[in-house]
Amino acid sequence: MTDIDPSQMAERRRGSGVKLVYDLLRDEILDLKLAPGSAIDEVQLASRFGMSRTPIREALVRLASDGLIETLPNRSTMVSNIDFLNMPAYFDALVLMYRVTTRLAAQHHKTEDLETIRQLQVAFSAAVESQDALAMIATNAAFHSAIAAAGRNSYYGAFFERLLNDGRRMLRLYYQSYEDRLPARFVEEHEEIIAAITARDVAAADRLGKVHGEQIVEQIGRLLTRHEDIDIDL
Amino acid sequence: MTDIDPSQMAERRRGSGVKLVYDLLRDEILDLKLAPGSAIDEVQLASRFGMSRTPIREALVRLASDGLIETLPNRSTMVSNIDFLNMPAYFDALVLMYRVTTRLAAQHHKTEDLETIRQLQVAFSAAVESQDALAMIATNAAFHSAIAAAGRNSYYGAFFERLLNDGRRMLRLYYQSYEDRLPARFVEEHEEIIAAITARDVAAADRLGKVHGEQIVEQIGRLLTRHEDIDIDL
DNA sequence: TGTATTTTTTTTGTCGACAAGAAATTCGAA
DNA sequence: TTCGAATTTCTTGTCGACAAAAAAAATACA
């Protein structure tokens, strides 16, 4: 890890330190630039960011309560491992949140929400076009985040956000399993979802959210030995 | 706020400071001993707990990422207000989580889970018997937490836990709306839930979880002007 | 008396230092 | 040499102090 640009660390607004460190480390962890299980050294980070250990530690505390790092008392801090054993549970929750957020968006969206959603769909489509797996992951998450926001339920929103973040790390590991035809299918499904939300068709939104979620689970989950029965008619 | 017992602050194991402060402040906030909106003074807390500001601050960072306190940059920290406008969304999420966790418990529980659940039901029943509203809230939450744990989905578990915590503050404000007959009904419903889980009757567990959740929503939510249509057949 | 500007006070964010714990290393005895 | 105890090294948790930022108070001026 190289030091940051000295011109950046020169003068910072007081109080911006922890956020800077938090945001950057968070991205590095989610993008797997920091490998799961790798150690985190406070003093090294302090010198890297040109600040004392105090703000670094506060950023680490936040990351820890996000579950992105793990702290052994009096001993090392490390990047959390991806819990593959819990992947069935993860997918179960993810599919349900796809359904619920899409459904609520159909109920509660405002017209300005649709513009945001459509813009993000364009970005996702472009990422698929250019076969940029990382951009696909990011724009897909942004697309569904926007749908969740349109659903106007901050509790689901926060939970879904967290699931999508956890997913970023797993998807980065498995994105090689994407073949060309499947992302194209995702684009189509996104379009259908947008149509259902626009039409305020709650039933269709629910169904499409479920199908879309299961699509992803099937794509990722075939690498697992077994996964939950997600065909519950909840 | 009075200082803590000096014998407690005498010698503490290194590293236990933040957890001590975090746990205590968390309970005080959730039990409304610290009123929503009230200011939090770092130096006062430091002298109260007999430690420096550094561990206090780390505890506050954790509370902030739990959403229990809010920090204005460079300025005051205060206990988060209860967001009554979002109560419909809250109840929507709560009911769904009641359903999902109960359903999953019916699917995945092990026999030792049932013992824990039954013990907590006994405690809840005792709290209802003695008309102790605070104990009712706590033991009810513990009961459903145990059910969620038996469902073996840590994602739902963490989310549900958070919802129950938020609920603790609202319930404390509204517990006067409980009349004698309703807690008794809750006890009965709990028994039915236990029976459904034991029998691994997923459909019944789902239905009972939904009914139970809506029961609570109706009890609390009648104080609201309007609330979500929770009768969705998801 | 009311308002704008300066000064004081209060509180936060950050720092460097130090001590406690745990791991790594060295040392000693069989 | 090998195992176990003592020692050193290294990292973390905590402290007291200081500086920046904002609010509160005081002052000046119309």
For A157-173, write each residue's pLDDT tens digit.
999 999 998 888 887 77
Q: Which of residues 58-117 of A touch strand D (CB under 7 A)?
A: 71, 73-77
Contact (Cβ atoms closer than 8 angstroms) between residue A160 and residue A97: yes
Write out A148-175 in H/E/C secondary structure. Answer: HHHCCCHHHHHHHHHHHHHHHHHHHHHH
* Three-class DSSP category at B152: coil
The stretch A64-70 carries a mean pLDDT of 95
Give the CA B123 to C1' D26 distance in Å: 61
In whole angstroms, give the CA distance from residue B105 to residue B144.
10
- Rounded to 5 degrees, what angle do the CA atoms B106, B112, B118 make? 75
- Cα dihedral A56, A57, A59, A64, rounded to 10, equals 140
Say what the pLDDT of residue B176 is.
59
Contact (Cβ atoms closer than 8 angstroms) between residue A166 and residue A196: no
pLDDT score of B4 more than 70: no
Contact (CB<8Å) B73/A15: yes
The pLDDT-based confidence of B219 (bands split at 50, 70, 90) is confident
Mean pLDDT of chain A: 86
Say what the pLDDT of residue B47 is.
94
Give residue B28's Cα distance to chain centre: 13
By the CB < 8 Å criterion, does A90 face chain B? yes
Q: Higher confidence at residue B222 or residue B10?
A: B222
Say what the pLDDT of residue B85 is.
86
The stretch A104-126 carries a mean pLDDT of 97
Residue B172's Cβ-count burial label (10 Å; 0-12, 13-18, 19+) is middle
CA-wise closest residue to B229 among B95, B100, B66: B95
The stretch B190-217 carries a mean pLDDT of 94
- Amino acid letter for position A109: H
**CATH node for B12-79:** 1.10.10.10
The pLDDT-based confidence of B8 (bands split at 50, 70, 90) is very low
Question: Among A9-13, A70-74, A143-147, B104-108, where is mean pLDDT lowest?
Answer: A9-13
CA-wise closest residue to A148 among A140, A137, A156: A156
For A206-225, write each residue's pLDDT tens digit.
999 999 998 888 877 665 54
Q: Are strands B77-79 and A77-79 parallel, antiparallel or unpaired?
A: unpaired
User: Does residue B51 approach strand D to less than 7 Å at its CB?
Assistant: yes
Contact (Cβ atoms closer than 8 angstroms) between residue A150 and residue B89: no
For B145-177, write each residue's pLDDT tens digit.
999 999 999 999 999 999 998 888 887 776 655
The pLDDT-based confidence of A233 (bands split at 50, 70, 90) is very low
In whole angstroms, give the CA distance from residue A72 to residue A75.
5
What residues are paired with B78 via a beta bridge?
B39, B70
pLDDT score of A8 more than 80: no
Question: Among A49-63, A84-98, A159-173, A176-190, where is mean pLDDT lowest?
Answer: A176-190
Distance from CA of B155 to the nearest CA of A (A): 7
By the CB < 8 Å criterion, does A14 face chain B? yes
The stretch B93-106 carries a mean pLDDT of 96
User: Does residue B222 approach strand D to less than 7 Å at its CB?
Assistant: no
Which of B89, B155, B159 lies at the smallest CB-CB distance from A152?
Answer: B89
Say what the pLDDT of residue B2 is.
42
pLDDT score of B233 more than 60: no
The stretch A31-57 carries a mean pLDDT of 94
The stretch A171-177 carries a mean pLDDT of 68
Residues of chain B in contact with residue A87, where contact means CB-CB under 8 angstroms, are none
The stretch A83-102 carries a mean pLDDT of 92
The stretch B128-145 carries a mean pLDDT of 89
As for the ipTM of the complex, it is 0.86
User: Does residue A42 approach strand D to less than 7 Å at its CB?
Assistant: yes
Question: Among A72-76, B161-165, B195-199, B220-224, where is mean pLDDT lowest?
Answer: B220-224
Say what the pLDDT of residue B56 is.
96
Fold of A84-221: Four Helix Bundle (Hemerythrin (Met), subunit A) (1.20.120)
By the CB < 8 Å criterion, does A42 face chain B? no
pLDDT score of A178 more than 60: no
Domains of chain A, by residue range, sit at 6-79, 84-221
Helix H or strand E encompassing B58: helix B53-65
Q: Higher confidence at residue B53 or residue A4?
A: B53
Say what the pLDDT of residue A176 is.
59
**Same CATH fold assignment for domains A6-79 and A84-221:** no
Report residue B20 as tokens.
């001590």
The pLDDT-based confidence of A131 (bands split at 50, 70, 90) is confident
The stretch A182-207 carries a mean pLDDT of 93
Percent of chain B with pLDDT over 90: 64
Say what the pLDDT of residue B179 is.
58
Contact (Cβ atoms closer than 8 angstroms) between residue B234 and residue B134: no
For A9-21, write each residue's pLDDT tens digit.
456 788 888 999 9
Residues of chain B in contact with residue A15, where contact means CB-CB under 8 angstroms, are 73-74
Mean pLDDT of chain B: 86
In whole angstroms, give the CA distance from residue B101 to residue B98.
6
Say what the pLDDT of residue A216 is.
81
The pLDDT-based confidence of A93 (bands split at 50, 70, 90) is very high
CATH code matching the domain that covers A6-79, chosen among 1.10.10.10, 3.30.70.20, 3.55.50.30, 3.20.20.100: 1.10.10.10
- The 10 Å CB-count burial string (b at 16+, else e) for A86-118 is bbbbbbbbbbbbbbbbbbbbbbbbeeebbebbb
